[in-house]
Structure 1
């Protein structure tokens, strides 16, 4: 295959188009943070019941990642992207009957199908981006496209606050005062507010699928993904590398901690002792959390050219844990802004952990990537556990769970050199 560089028109145009995918799945994923408090009020759910949204969404990563990898090997990256867009579009379409029938179980099914499509998109697009150009600049390309993913997560909360939380969401006490007829009318009206936004998302996803179907993208052989690997296959499988295995656990707790904080922010900012904000206004402040991640990703890409990724990861983990502890030990604006600032620390964690964990895997890099993608299931389990804690000890004190998550990431970064050496032994 003829060697090309990212500066060439074919690759540059393809990267620009692929960037739209990263933006879209970031936007859709972060929109869950707005839907959680909305559906919690509509169906009068407990915190743990509301966290089933994230459970169903991120469980798809665990169940669909490996089959998606096999599928992409069979049908190619471009067809994998198209199929992922179509599946995600079907998930968005399912929101319409779910709202029409006011069925929470149907909503959960819609979240799972939507996430299954996004998982296939990620399995197709991430390695495709790394293969479009020189191996030594792959991390730079992936970091740049992930920055636009963060742009999607930044815009989504504001969009959701405007179009989904725009109405006056009643509290549990207000709902208890409604008679059966009033309750039905309220739930019907509130559930219907998600129909038009998700129909619009469905149309956009289908349009993107049609565009990708007509595009002539460069054909990348699967072997090209391993061409930059120079490590030997000294171990029988990726599971024999401790820096990979413990790195997967770091991905698990990172995604879980990040999603848990984002999922509870609207409810947290609505607490009288924190900011006492109505849901629509609180939803707009979630933009600062995800916007911090976007800005930090751009800054981190520059910083890591001069400072090692493991040192940056170690610093960010300690800073994140410290900010959450500060929020736990305070109230009012300090508790609010210290928690929102955690987004800035989250910025480099996923690409940092991922790149460190797959380093030196050689021919086992593909298997290692699959293990790390499956670990994203932390976004399903940790928010659910935090929901249980919030029901038992209160939403504020439940944030001790993310403190444990970030503490482990700091431990992984501290132990990383020894773990890497152990894998080479």
Structure 2
């Protein structure tokens, strides 16, 4: 007879998985610091600087399905360890990237980091959803993702002071000879080495802990990979796609991640243009403003889901974000920053809520459904390019917020359909648990 894991075992497993949410949130939220840093080093346009996001989020499209196959064959634990190793390797590659001063090398290192994050997110999101009572899945995932929001607060504040060094002004750079200018920019580029080396070392320590950690088996998945998937991958993929909830979640997550990346990645440029802030001041607003609003929104949303059906709350938040995006397009000064910070608060629950609603009741299709939803994170590579194109074409960065506005309208469509399903389930006593999350 198999021994039932204790409450302490579940609590420690939850804590360790939650540490992964914090770490990938931290490294993701260094990207808004990298964008102005690399834009200066390589004299990039807004559209060209958006390739930082493209390198990251294309990895989700490439790696999500292989990650799902890995989880089915090797289990959640081995998949997470593999993801952590890729994460660490990519972070270490920032050192030679800075030494060679090649933009393509930076993009390659970001791509490898993102491949590791894809595996981690494909495994950790469903694992947290399944680690406990099914009727608390959305609430539990929002709680874990709240630590992702905490990272969104800390990363810009810490990263700005370590990466955005006070170097020569643009005028001073123009007055330099080519060799001196190149040496100056190379010295500035080297500021990324320390932060990413520290990240790599922390990730390697976490990987060692996971190697010795015994994760409880959950749901239809495999805690340590003792069971092996027998259904062919193609069949499992087709079966997952046949579920309307998963299909809608794939679409909604594509546009949500695209909107989130636009809001965070372009915030420093946006604050500089719309409110006339310096880069350091803008980074502080990104951390203490958007980041803090994001994490408070996650905790507040998790609490509100005790009383409000998750899909209805998502619908209300999506509608508010649509209105605030319009304000961000046309307001000026601090009003424009207030609108963007408001978007950060109200979009905070969207990723975990869309994810949990999408795989709710998926059973044996959970792993492949999770892969498809993670795969749709490629929206973070596509939508920022639209943001950058609109900004460059109109000559006004604020007009780029037309892209997030459309994204939030799509999320409202998803939430309305999910709310109708939750309402139908609530009318049936035996299947209304999710309504009371």
TM-score, normalising length from structure 2?
0.87
Per the alignment, residue 318 of structure 2 pairs with 317
**Cα distance in 2 between the residues matched to 1:383 and 1:117:** 22
1:389 alignment counterpart: 390
Structure 1: how far apart are the matches of 2:186 and 2:222?
Answer: 52
Distance 1:339 1:161, change over 3 A: same
Return 5+ residue gaps in structure 1 as ranges.
226-235
Give the Cα separation in 1 of the matches to 2:31 and 2:346: 21
Please point out which of 183, 186, 192 is paired with 1:185. Answer: 183
The secondary structure found in structure 2 opposite 1:237 is helix
* Cα offset, 1:417, TM superposition: 5.2
Q: Are the counterparts in 2 of residues 242 and 419 from structure 1 also a CA contact under 8 Å?
A: no
What residue is the counterpart of 1:117 in the other structure? 116
Cα deviation 1:270-294 (Å, max 9, x = unaligned): 11xx221121221111112122121
**Who is 1:368 aligned against?**
369
Aligned to 1:247: 249
After superposition, the C-alpha distances for 1:123-143 in whole angstroms (9 at most, x for unaligned) are 222233233333333333322
Once the two structures are superposed, the pairs formed by residues 209-248 of structure 1 within 5 Å of their partners are 209-220=207-218, 222-223=220-221, 237-248=239-250
* Compared CA separation, residues 180 and 87, structure 1 to 2 (3 A): same
Alignment partner, residue 277 of structure 1: 277
- Given that 2:31 and 2:265 are in contact with CA atoms closer than 8 Å, whether structure 1 keeps it comes out as yes
SS in 1 for 2:277: coil
Query: In the aligned structure 1, how far is the partner of 2:423 from the partner of 2:307?
Result: 23
Distance 2:168 2:390 in 1: 24
Q: What do the CA deviations read for 1:50-105 (whole angstroms, capped 9, x no partner)? A: 11111010111111011011112232222222221111111011101111010000
Deviations 1:245-290, CA, capped at 9 Å, x for gaps: 233111111110111111111011111xx22112122111111212
DSSP-derived class of the 2:397 partner? coil
Q: What's the C-alpha RMSD, in Å, of the aligned pairs?
A: 2.4
Deviations 1:119-177 (A, max 9, x none): 11122222332333333333333222111111112110101111111324644x65444
Alignment partners' CA distance in 1, 2:311 and 2:219: 31
Structure 1 268/125 Cα, relative in aligned 2: closer, same or farther at 3 Å?
Answer: same
Matches of 1:419 and 1:19, distance apart in 2: 29
User: For residues 200 and 156 of structure 1, what CA distance do their matches in structure 2 show?
Assistant: 13
Which stretch shifts more, 326-335 or 238-247? 238-247
CA 1:286/1:11 → structure 2, altered by over 3 Å: closer, same or farther?
same
CA contact (8 A) 1:252 1:376 kept: yes
State whether structure 2 residue 401 is matched by structure 1 residue 399. Answer: yes
Task: Assess, with a 3 A threshold, how the Cα gap between structure 1 residues 224 and 103 changes in structure 2: closer, same or farther.
Answer: closer
The Cα shift of 1:418 comes to 5.9
- Structure 2 CA distance for aligned equivalents of residues 177 and 419 of structure 1: 64
Counterpart position of 1:334: 335
The DSSP-based 3-state class of the residue aligned with 2:266 is helix
1:359 to partner: Cα distance: 3.6
Q: Which shifted more, 368-377 or 352-361? A: 352-361
Which residue number in structure 2 is paired with residue 72 of structure 1? 71
CA contact (8 A) 1:26 1:149 kept: yes
Q: How does 1:85-234 map to 2 (within 5 A)?
A: 85-168=84-167, 170-171=169-170, 175-220=173-218, 222-223=220-221
Deviation at 1:198, TM superposition (A): 0.8
What's the CA shift for 1:212?
1.9
1:409 counterpart = 2:411: yes
CA separation of 1:361 and 1:126: change in aligned 2, threshold 3 A: closer
Mark the CA change 1:74 to 1:364 in structure 2 (over 3 Å): closer, same or farther. Answer: closer
1:171-198 alpha-carbon deviations (Å, 9 max, x no partner): 4x65444320231122111110101111
Q: 1:150 to 1:373 in 2, by over 3 A?
A: same
Alpha carbons of 1:322 and 1:238: their partners in 2 closer, same or farther (altered >3 Å)?
A: same
User: How many matched pairs?
Assistant: 409
Tell me the residue number matched to 2:348.
Answer: 347
Structure 2: give runs of 5+ residues left out of the alignment: 224-237, 425-437
Q: Is the 8 A contact 2:128 2:140 kept in 1?
A: yes
